[in-house]
A and B are shown apart, each in its own frame.
Chain A
């Protein structure tokens, strides 16, 4: 598992220790570029990366759009650089408004650490949300286990889990499913 401290990336990007705020679209684009470099290229097969906001004072809408939304859009596209999964850490109330706004605008979702658990933020259908939380509770589960947990047909559960895999919120491991953040 990789760990990227966004605040360190910000300081390196600006070549300056003075600012701990993620503001402006230009800064956001530069920070995302740096994060993508750290994530590695085509030679990587599958990786889970913690994107850590713990030392970021604030983030504005434009920067959230560049750093969070565009990162997720690229890695959940049909042609991502590699199979990357993200777990967001250190997201406080001070960051929440901006991040939620851009997730909503692009219909995106992410997994975020909250004290001793992981939660979802963003736009998900009720089925997706229920399937994800069931998978998270179960730890490592087959589609039938998830179907049983949320009371739907196995095919329906499998379809929802596949959608969550495409959204990089669930990993498929040898026919079983693991929610992002469960083993982080």
Chain B
């Protein structure tokens, strides 16, 4: 029997929880069909998390592509389908190749499995990020290098801790309803070991009575603890945290059944969410907003949310 998992029309880090809640009761060898026919929009987090979700299944899942041509075209430009084909049995009509033209995709969905991938990702993003961060987000040029550093560190998190490959995507868009400003978003998702298991593998690790996914995230993201004894380790996420703090951005890291967030004043998310539906690995999202509020009469683009 195939279980149908419905993808919400707007897929981001929060609405992806609806997907996970549907998958959670099913054993990994149950056949699932991820039904994205009615999806109209997906954030980089949504797209990369859909790929990571497939990696958690032992029975190859099926995927129904968005019916809306504009959505399918956008997902194709983000290179989602070319990677999804390797993980899902695909159904429905979707562009086989990414259409050319202007796009707000800074970095299409890209696999990260080894150090060279990080070099490649950082190199690809640098030039486009420069234009977007300076001209569209109106941030100082110092923000550009910090952005590339943050991207590098969150990608390395996969290589160092996941035990398997993951995915990264970077996009910029106008976040009209929630923020009223332009944002640039990095999403890095894997279905690997996750923070709790990674820290448990540290030599001499002694779990406390409240040890779990949430405490593991607090250790790693807030206190910069790593599974390595070397005190040099654990600087990557600390650096990312400092970067989002400086530029009024948001960092959220989900692992297992918990999500920890560095929440800026413009967002109403909770700093720590526990007892979420389980999701293997780690899912990181960085949002950097435009420096100043844009004009109130700006018209929404088709990809606005």
> Which A positions have Cβ atoms within 8 angstroms of B?
14, 18-19, 21, 23-27, 57-62, 65-66, 69-70, 93-94, 97-98, 101-102, 105-106
Contact = CB atoms under 8 A, between A and B. Distances in A.
Nearest to B149: A60
Interface stretch (B45-53, B118-126, B214-222): B118-126
A102 B148 contact: no
A24 B232 contact: no
Given A25-B160, A62-B156, A93-B142, A105 B118 contact: no
A12 B144 CA distance: 27
A124 B182 CA distance: 41
B153 A61 contact: yes
Contacts of B163: none
> Which 7 interchain pairs have the tightest Cβ spacing?
A61-B239, A60-B152, A23-B152, A24-B115, A61-B235, A60-B149, A94-B145
Nearest to A70: B232
Contact of A62 (B120, B123, B146, B236): B236
A24 B118 contact: yes
Given A97-B146, A102-B232, A24 B239 contact: no
Interface string B216-237: 0000000000000001100110
Interface residues on B, range: 20 to 34
A97 B156 contact: no
Interface of B: 115, 118-120, 122-123, 126, 142, 145-146, 148-149, 152-153, 156, 159-160, 231-232, 235-236, 238-239, 242
Chain B facing A: main interface SS: helix
Contacts, number: 78
B141 to A, nearest CB: 8
B235 A101 contact: yes
A25 B119 CA distance: 11
A62 B235 contact: yes
Chain A facing B: main interface SS: helix
Nearest to A105: B235
Nearest to A27: B115
A57 B129 CA distance: 14
Given A18-B119, A101-B239, A102-B235, 13 more contacts: A19-B119, A19-B120, A24-B118, A57-B126, A58-B148, A62-B153, A62-B156, A62-B235, A62-B236, A65-B232, A66-B232, A98-B239, A101-B235
B122 A23 contact: yes
Contact of A21 (B123, B160, B236): B123
B241 to A, nearest CB: 11
Contacts of B145: 58, 93-94, 97
A60 B153 contact: yes
B6 to A, nearest CB: 39
